[in-house]
Amino acid sequence: MELAAKRFADTVALFPVGRIDHATADAFKAALAPHLAGVAAGGDRAVIDLAGVEYISSVGLRVLMLASKQVKAQGGALAVADLQPVVREIFEISRFNLVLEVFPTLREALGKLSPAALAAFESA
């Protein structure tokens, strides 16, 4: 799965693209893994920008849940942002909006996670 990454100061933004379902969830998980290792207390923060994701199934949501659990265990911070309308509805129906930090835009997510990351985003 295509997963571009972009750094804003101490925060890494990840940009998956396409459908995250039974066929692609494992690839999404594998692509995510190297970026999560450094998301820890005193280290990086991470935002997964879902603007390019048109659909996410329960298996894809499970990958996000595992990522969130891993990051929490490491003392780090993870948020998701910029959900397409269908994905936003799936988040609401599955109640994932209650267990993950969800922001309307990448900018708002960065602003919440790190002033330095927001400053880097604004000056980019």
Partner 1 sequence: MRVRFWGTRGSIPVAMTSAEVQHKLVAALVAAAGRGLDTAGKARAFVENELEFSVSHTFGGNSSCVQLETDGPDHVLCDLGSGVRAFGNALLATRGPSGHRFHVFMSHLHWDHIMGFPFFMPAYLPGNHVTIYGCHDTLEEAFRRQNRAPSFPVDFSRMEARIEFVRLEPERSYDIAGLRVRAKLQRHGGGSYGYRIEQRGRVVVYSTDSEHKQDDPEEVKAFVEFFRDADLVIFDAQYSLADAISVKEDWGHSSNVVGVEMCQLARARRLCLFHHEPIFDDERIARLLAETRRLEEITRTDHRVEVWAAYDGLEIAL
Residues that bind partner 1 (CB under 8 A): 22, 55, 57-59, 61-62, 65, 69, 86, 89-90, 92-96, 98-99
CB of 47 to partner 1, least distance (A): 19
CB of 122 to partner 1, least distance (A): 33
- Compute how many other C-beta atoms are within 10 angstroms of the C-beta atom of residue 35: 17
What is the Cβ-side half-sphere exposure of residue 101, based on CA atoms within 13 angstroms? 21
Q: Which helix (H) or strand (E) holds 17?
A: strand 11-20
* Cβ nearer to partner 1, comparing 7 with 62: 62
CB of 64 to partner 1, least distance (A): 10
* Cβ nearer to partner 1, comparing 42 with 85: 85
Q: Are residues 45 and 78 in contact, defined by beta-carbon separation less than 8 angstroms?
A: yes
Q: Are residues 63 and 33 in contact, defined by beta-carbon separation less than 8 angstroms?
A: no
